[in-house]
Amino acid sequence: MNDTVLLVEYSEYEREKTKIAFDNIGVYNFIEVDNIVKLQEAISAFPPLTLIVMDISFPIERDGLAALSLLRKDSSTVDVPIIIITKPDNINHRHSVQKFGVQDFIVKPYKTKRLENSIRSILNIPQSFRYELDSANVITMSIEDYVAKEFKLASRANKSLSIILITPSVSKKKGVSENETAPNLREKVYAIATEKVRLISRTTDTALLNDNKDILVILPFTDTTGAQRVLEKFKIGIDKELGDFNIKYDDCFYSVSVTFPNDGRTFQSLMEKAMKKLEDKVMLEKLTSIGTGTIDNARKIYEKFKN
């Protein structure tokens, strides 16, 4: 099988995810469109299409619905089956897109098997033998395995992947960790931080909360510059919420970002790099807070951090 599938999705990461569902079905060619202008310019030149998979957030619903209307008005795509994949807050569009004769409506996040089953059903492709492990819930995916999967996806598309590490400070002069009068304040600050991270994160990002109160955010298809922009958004958002407690982000947290493959090619190597960056930040703070007469002592402390 060597049919052609049109992917209408502004996120390259999401387009790569969609392609994975086709790996277990057959060999397909893909036409990728990431904005409505490109769709308008290219639609008349499309080869015969087997299937269209699209998001109606394009990145806004108005453009997505306009793209869907355009596909149904053009003679070359009027009868091509369409699968909609979109974010949860677009679920109200489930009924409105039915007037365009779409075959399925899938809400993100979704399992690859869900999309694969939809493709097989719509294209009438029988399921070849495959031993299913969906019900085997004894073994769960570790964080390392999850990130390894994301690394594979990034490598396949020749893209970067970044991790942001936000960790509570333990040595700041005005840090929450030293506040003895409000024992619940640390928990409140942490809850504010985690909530803002979740709200600000993009749909493709994944926030992981570790038992030691570290917050890790996985940023697929994001380079170092992009990670710094996202981290700055986190800082601004958390800072705004902490204003009610007369506390600043920098009083409570240290944060760094690391990027695959520049800073490491595995989860552990990236985290090792992140911890080294944190140590350097802590050391810099110590060095700038002591007098020149105690610089020798600071150097000794730095050697301990290095070793």
Q: Is the pLDDT of residue 290 over 60?
A: no
The answer to whether residues 207 and 217 touch, using CB atoms and an 8 Å cutoff, is: yes
> What mean pLDDT do residues 288-293 have?
52
Phi, psi of 14 (to 5 degrees): -65, -35
Q: Is the pLDDT of residue 56 over 60?
A: yes
Q: Which of 283, 284, 260 is nearest to 273 (CA)?
A: 260
Phi, psi of 209 (to 5 degrees): -110, 115
Q: What is the largest CA-CA distance in the chain?
A: 81
Q: Facing residues of 217 across strands?
A: 164, 207
Q: How far is CA 201 from the centre of its chain?
A: 7
Given the DSSP bridges, would you call strands 51-54 and 2-8 parallel, antiparallel or unpaired? parallel
Please give the domain boundaries of the chain with CATH numbers for all domains: 2-123 (3.40.50.2300), 143-272 (3.30.70.270)
Say how far apart CA 16 and CA 151 lie, in whole Å: 12
Contacts 24+ apart (CB under 8 A), 241-245: 241/192, 241/196, 242/189, 242/192, 245/185, 245/188, 245/189
The answer to whether residues 231 and 144 touch, using CB atoms and an 8 Å cutoff, is: no
pLDDT band at 98 (very low <50, low <70, confident <90, very high): confident
How confident is the model over 194-223, as pLDDT tens digits?
A: 999 999 998 889 999 887 689 999 999 999
How confident is the model over 226-235, as pLDDT tens digits?
A: 999 999 999 9
Say how far apart CA 168 and CA 278 lie, in whole Å: 11
> What mean pLDDT do residues 225-247 have?
93
User: What b/e readout covers 81-99, taking b as 16+ CB neighbours within 10 angstroms?
Assistant: bbbbbbeeebeebeeebee
How confident is the model over 151-197, as pLDDT tens digits?
A: 888 988 899 999 999 998 854 545 454 444 455 888 889 999 999 99
pLDDT at residue 24 in the model: 82
User: Which bin fits 37, alpha (ψ -120 to 50), beta or left (φ > 0)?
Assistant: alpha
Radius of gyration over every alpha carbon of the chain, rounded to an integer in angstroms: 24
Q: Facing residues of 257 across strands?
A: 164
- The three-state secondary structure class of 141 is coil
pLDDT at residue 169 in the model: 80
pLDDT at residue 181 in the model: 44
- DSSP secondary structure, 22-74, as one string: HHTT-EEEEEEE-SHHHHHHHGGGPPPPSEEEE-S-SSSHHHHHHHHHHHHHS
Residue whose tokens read 């996806």: 153
